[in-house]
Structure 1
Amino acid sequence: MADRETRIIVCCGSGGVGKTTTSAALALRAAEQGRKVCVLTIDPARRLAQSMGLTELDNVPRPVRDAGANGGSLDAMMLDMKRTFDEVVEAHASPEKAKQILQNPFYIALSSSFAGTQEYMAMEKLGQLHADAVEGGRWDLIVVDTPPSRSALDFLDAPERLSSLLDGRFIKLLLTPARGPARFLTAGFGMVTGALNKVLGAQILTDVQTFVAAFDTLFGGFRQRAEATYALLQAPETAFVVVASPENDALREAMYFVERLTEERMPLAGLVLNRVTVPSTDAVDEAEAESAARRLDESAGDGPVVAALLRAHADRVRAQARESRLRRRFAGAHPAVPIVPVPALAGDVHDLDGLRLIGERLAS
């Protein structure tokens, strides 16, 4: 965050590991160190809005009050997948063509629920924000909270998947009657469309063909922008932060992501290990706590209460030992990746003070 050459931070990892909180904490800390920051979240639970004291977030960056110092500022936004897709269509098609596309039933389904669309639109929005930052000087740092998908790799794969869909053989087949004269409507093509009519239904196929014909002029732009944003992610001004919790599945996913980032030559800053267990004291080990708890079970007065506390301490010591083993395994597999542990808080983060505390623990 202190390096002004770093202009994009991408927080990634599997779902439920604290990506949103980490993204917000990094963005707030950078803003309070004097940077002009925009944080983009793709979180349907809207926890980022709550943690920043905002009643709502939408597809437009909005200022966060009481955030920023030394000339810094913080804007926050939540990706609206369909609205972003609509904006792309409106920006790159004529008004008539855009209206035709936006009202097409197949487009409505594609822009709202197609697998990978959310991740692709996150890339589109990042490209838009970066253009605003470079051309307008509005921000000098963009923090991206990646989508909570089943696999952390989906964010990197989505642009290629959507581009392949829009530029694939099936689409080109459907485009044949729109691009060429009637003589290209061969018997073979008629047999194919007849079979598709039976499988999909005539109306669905008509909707798809109408959409493809209208969308044809935008295909190249989608692929070009996807490639440009992908190159931006590989640039030295970008830093990837992999976020995980000290659990076996989350760290396994983090390993996959680190390996993929390495393969794609993307700049990896390190691993944030969230919600690390810290025992209340290191003066009593697990065995001593369990032994003392057994002796106190039959005691009068506060004996049972103290015994319960000792057992809770023993549980925390065991959890810490298990988490340490998992951390050593990750470090052994990826010794060059810095690891930043963030101790678990007593409760959820729901305000700026909580985000500041996370930011301090990230930087300490």
Structure 2
Amino acid sequence: MRRTTMAGLLAVPLSIAGLYWLMLHGFLKTSAILLVVAVLGMLFAAVWEWRHGHRKWASLLLAGAVLTSGTVGFYGWNLNQKLDNIPRIKPPAAIDEGTRPPEEKETKALNILLMGADNPDQKADKPTIAELLSDGQWDVGAYRSDTIMVVHIPANRKSAYVVSIPRDSYVPIFDEAGATQGKNKINAAFSEYGPFGTLRTVEKLTGLRMNHLAVIDYEGFRDLTTAIGGVDVYVPETVYDSYQDQTWEKGWNHLEGNLALKYVRQRHGLINGDFDRVARQQNFLRAVMEKVLDDGTIGNPVKFTKTLEAITSHLTVDEDFSNGEIRGLALSLNGLDAKKVKFVTLPLDHYETVEGVGSVNIIDAARAKELWKAVREDRINRYLDKYPDDELGDQQDVS
């Protein structure tokens, strides 16, 4: 048995290496099962050795089991701590006043409103969004949102849809109590009434109940790319952004840090302005998802920890979005192919200039109604078969 024990001990580092390889290649559940089997095997072997008087070998096996369990436990605890650090914002008491779309009680499909928060005065040191809302009051104009996306995750968790609402979309604006505040560009909802005003505005626009909201500041885009080692995007034609003094050369460009921030912010110099910026934001997210899901980031403990830290350091969610629900959602999406994530943009009817508001996007109301119905019924592929131009193009077609 001693030779067997020695072989078992020597097999430990080899097993760890094998498990690490499985994790890097996406076999997370298999890795977890094998890890449990390995720990139980060491414990049973330790008991056997102890009963037969081989105290030294029993101690070594027990130490191996404890060390392995402790390492895994610490890793899980560390990840949970990072989730604990996500600021939560409490919905105002008025959030359920008026009429809201009904909750989808018969399905486990989720709608998450994702917003990007940007400080219009970069030189001003401001409190965070969570700090601003700690007293239940929103500081008008403190932040704006040029990124508004509805993330729909079907009940089977085998796909996901991301529908972008361009910031210049001219729509009725509602405050957090659901009271109408006239019409304006949709980003006015965030600036004037904060995340929950935007949530009520988007619910009124889409007819979809938002289960949760998440706000990530633009620095989060920057730090996320650094954590995963950057992503590559293709620029079809050389373009100059006069506002940010940035020239994008035709061909593949590596985005990391501040350069990623410039890419998702650009509107000036792009032919379709707001819509091209939306396409860039979607293209960036697609590249990030492909890197995270297909390149071993989730299975690499070091890289995944850095990635999670980059996200959680710049993320704010609603109070009801608990750690348990976030963990459960992440586990249920394990194995999701990035190619199963569809990026769509709210359809445009025409551009218009509105007095006191400026240049706006007039939504194609009839087609938009079809889109939101398709999202609600998990039939967006049929919608895209009918309107293929509404889906994000191939990597080399995005301006």
Task: Tell me the TM-score range normalised by the shorter chain.
Answer: under 0.3
Determine which structure has greater relative contact order: mean sequence separation of CA pairs < 8 Å that are 6+ residues apart, divided by chain length: 1
Q: TM-score scaled by structure 2?
A: 0.22
Q: TM-score scaled by structure 1?
A: 0.24
Larger relative strand fraction = 2
Larger relative helix fraction = 1
